[in-house]
């Protein structure tokens, strides 16, 4: 069954690339296609839903990532008063380090397959607001663990990369997500058309590169080491001894 779903996912991506060469294939889409392949009852249903979803959130994968920019900046506004967000920010862990990978792969790095299948219909219907509300609920779930890590960037990144190992219960996640939705919807409506703050990602063919030119979709240990090294270098440059 798994091999069959992988075959369906590949067929979805090939058909998508043929029908929409301007957008084409971007890293992360394979995980999205695989989710629709698992959730749908037929290949045709899977493609119809996948096509509608990628069209509604097209800006997540377009060159320049305009919807991703909007979403990250809205996330910063919404999470600003959360202690876990303030703790991450004080230690140089910015949303650009964890949200793009989670969103481009539709929470593959954060949630188990069964939970993602359960959430898929709501994500299809709610577009950016639903992505934001789901992300904020997940981050609230790990917030206390983040606060327990102290000021070590490595430890904070380990918690973020290990969310999938200790995910929220689906029912609790849905309740928390629904509690976030009204304020998320109001915030995104107010910020529509605003100028977005952004540390750019860019596309290199199908690959997604961060502002240092490093691939967004890398192995956990490699990426964590790269981010931590960059953070320590920045602290040393600013404060001399690497501490603050």
Pairing of strands 207-209, 202-204: antiparallel
pLDDT beyond 80 at 66:
yes
Highest mean pLDDT among 60-64, 82-86, 198-202, 237-241: 82-86
5-21 average pLDDT score? 93
Other CB atoms closer than 10 Å to residue 126's CB: what's the count? 19
Average pLDDT of the chain? 84
pLDDT beyond 50 at 244:
no
- Total residues belonging to the chain: 244
**What is residue 136's predicted lDDT score, i.e. its pLDDT?**
98
pLDDT band at 240 (very low <50, low <70, confident <90, very high): very low
* Per-residue model confidence as pLDDT tens digits over 25-51: 988 899 999 999 999 999 999 999 999
Residue/partner pairs of 41-49 with CB below 8 Å, 24 or more apart: 43/8, 43/11, 43/12, 46/8, 46/12, 47/11, 47/12, 47/15, 47/16, 49/124
pLDDT band at 241 (very low <50, low <70, confident <90, very high): very low
pLDDT band at 203 (very low <50, low <70, confident <90, very high): low
**What is residue 238's predicted lDDT score, i.e. its pLDDT?**
39
pLDDT band at 71 (very low <50, low <70, confident <90, very high): very high
* Per-residue model confidence as pLDDT tens digits over 183-192: 999 887 665 5
Q: How many CA atoms lie within 13 A of 36 on its CB side?
A: 26
Closest CA to 169 of 125, 115, 132: 115
pLDDT beyond 80 at 134:
yes
Q: Would you state the structure tokens that stand for residue 235, as one six-digit string?
A: 């602290």
**What is residue 94's predicted lDDT score, i.e. its pLDDT?**
93
* Per-residue model confidence as pLDDT tens digits over 85-117: 999 999 999 998 899 999 999 999 999 999 999
* Per-residue model confidence as pLDDT tens digits over 145-171: 999 998 999 999 999 999 999 999 999
**What is residue 127's predicted lDDT score, i.e. its pLDDT?**
83
Predicted TM-score (pTM) of the model is 0.80
Look-up: residue for tokens 């992300």?
135
What's the rounded Cα separation, in Å, for the pair 93 and 234? Answer: 12
């Amino acid at each position: 069954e798994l091999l069959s779903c992988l075959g369906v996912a590949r067929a979805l991506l090939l058909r998508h690339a043929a029908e929409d060469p301007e957008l084409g294939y971007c890293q992360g889409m394979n995980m999205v296609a695989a989710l629709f392949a698992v959730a749908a009852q037929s290949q045709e249903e899977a493609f119809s839903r996948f096509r509608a979803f990628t069209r509604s959130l097209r800006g997540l994968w377009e060159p320049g990532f305009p919807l991703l920019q909007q979403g990250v900046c809205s996330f910063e506004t919404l999470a600003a008063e959360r202690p876990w967000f303030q703790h991450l920010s004080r230690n140089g862990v910015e949303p650009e380090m964890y949200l793009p990978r989670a969103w481009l792969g539709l929470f593959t790095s954060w949630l188990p397959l069964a939970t993602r299948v359960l959430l898929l219909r709501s994500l299809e219907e709610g577009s950016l607001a639903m992505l934001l509300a789901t992300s904020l609920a997940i981050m609230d779930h790990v917030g206390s663990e983040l606060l327990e890590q102290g000021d070590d960037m490595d430890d904070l990144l380990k918690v973020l990369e290990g969310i999938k190992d200790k995910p929220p219960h689906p029912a609790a996640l849905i309740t928390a997500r629904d509690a976030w939705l009204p304020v998320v919807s109001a915030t995104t409506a107010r910020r529509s058309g605003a100028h977005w703050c952004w540390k750019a990602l860019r596309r290199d063919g199908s690959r997604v590169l961060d502002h240092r030119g490093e691939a967004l979709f890398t192995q956990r240990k490699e990426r964590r080491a790269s981010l931590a090294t960059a953070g320590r270098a920045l602290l040393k440059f600013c404060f001399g001894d690497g501490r603050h």
